[in-house]
A and B are shown apart, each in its own frame.
Chain A
Amino acid sequence: MPAPKIMTLADMAARVPDGASLALGGSFLHRGPFAFVRELIRQAKTGLEIIKQSPGYDLDILCRARCVTKARAGIVAMEGNFGLAPWYRRAVELQQIVLEEHACMTLTAGLRAAAFGVPFQPVGGVHGSDLPSLNHWASVTDPYGSGKEVWVIPAIQPDIAVIHVNEANELGDARVYGTYNWDRIMSRAAKQVFIVADTLASVQSFKDRPELTLIPSFMVQAVAVVPNGAWPGSCWPLYEVDYPAVEDYMDTTRDLGLHMACAPERLERVDA
Chain B
Amino acid sequence: MPDGWSGFSYLVINLARFIRPDEVTFSGVNSTPPMLACLLAKRAYDFDFVYLNVAGGVQPTPSTIPISSSDPVLAEGSTAIFANEDFYDLCTRGGMDLCFLGAAQVDGLGRTNVSVIGDWHHPNVRLPGGGGGAVMLPTARRAVTWRTEHSTRTMVETLDFVTAAGGLAGVVTPIAVFVKRDGRLALQSWHPEASLDEVRQRTGFDFVATAATPTPPPSVNESAALQTLDPEGQFERDANIAPLVDRCSLPRRR
Q: Which residues of A contact B (CB under 8 A)?
A: 27-31, 53-54, 73-77, 79-81, 84-85, 88-89, 92-93, 99, 101-106, 108, 123-131, 134, 178-182, 184-185, 234, 236-237, 240-241, 243
Contact = CB atoms under 8 A, between A and B. Distances in A.
B71 A104 contact: no
A103 B70 contact: no
B139 interface: yes
A101 B138 contact: no
B163 A126 contact: no
Given A80-B67, A106-B134, A179 B161 contact: no
Given A127-B165, A128-B111, A128-B165, A103 B123 contact: no
Contacts of A241: 67-68, 71
A269 B85 CA distance: 36
B238 interface: yes
Interface string B148-164: 00000000000001111
Q: Is the interface of A mostly helix, strand, loop or mixed?
A: loop
Interface residues of B, number: 51
Interface in B55-96: 55-56, 67-73, 75, 81, 83-85, 88-89, 91-93
Which of A84, A85, A126, A243 neighbours the largest number of chain B CB atoms within 10 Å of its CB? A126
Contacts of A124: 88-89, 91-93, 135, 139
Interface string B121-162: 001111111111111111100000000000000000000011
A34 B215 CA distance: 46
B105 to A, nearest CB: 13
B120 interface: yes
Interface of B: 29-30, 32, 54-56, 67-73, 75, 81, 83-85, 88-89, 91-93, 111, 114-115, 120, 123-139, 161-166, 238
Contacts of B238: 81
Contact of A179 (B69, B72, B120, B132): B72
A105 to B, nearest CB: 4
10 contacts: A75-B30, A88-B126, A103-B131, A105-B135, A106-B134, A123-B135, A125-B92, A178-B75, A178-B81, A182-B84
A236 B57 CA distance: 13
A178 B53 CA distance: 12
Contacts of A178: 55-56, 72, 75, 81
Contact of A28 (B68, B92, B132, B161): B68
Contacts of B72: 30-31, 178-179, 234, 236-237
Contacts of B125: 89, 93
B83 A54 contact: no
A125 B83 contact: no
Nearest to A103: B134
A179 B91 CA distance: 18
Contacts of B131: 53-54, 74-75, 103-104
A180 B136 CA distance: 20
B130 A103 contact: yes
A166 to B, nearest CB: 11
Nearest to B115: A101
A20 B125 CA distance: 28
Given A75-B132, A125-B135, A128-B165, 14 more contacts: A27-B84, A30-B68, A53-B84, A53-B131, A54-B70, A54-B131, A75-B30, A75-B128, A92-B123, A124-B89, A130-B120, A179-B55, A179-B81, A240-B73
Which of A79, A104, A123 neighbours the largest number of chain B CB atoms within 10 Å of its CB? A104
Contacts of A184: 83, 85
A155 B110 CA distance: 31
A126 B167 CA distance: 11
Contacts of B83: 179-181, 184
Nearest to A236: B72
A91 to B, nearest CB: 9
B146 to A, nearest CB: 16
Given A28-B68, A181-B84, A127 B138 contact: yes
A236 B161 contact: no
Which of B135, B138, B161, B164 neighbours the largest number of chain A CB atoms within 10 Å of its CB? B135
A73 B130 CA distance: 10
Contacts of A104: 84, 88, 131-132, 135
Given A128-B166, A179-B55, A243-B67, A105 B123 contact: no
Given A79-B69, A84-B128, A101-B115, A108 B29 contact: no
B132 to A, nearest CB: 5
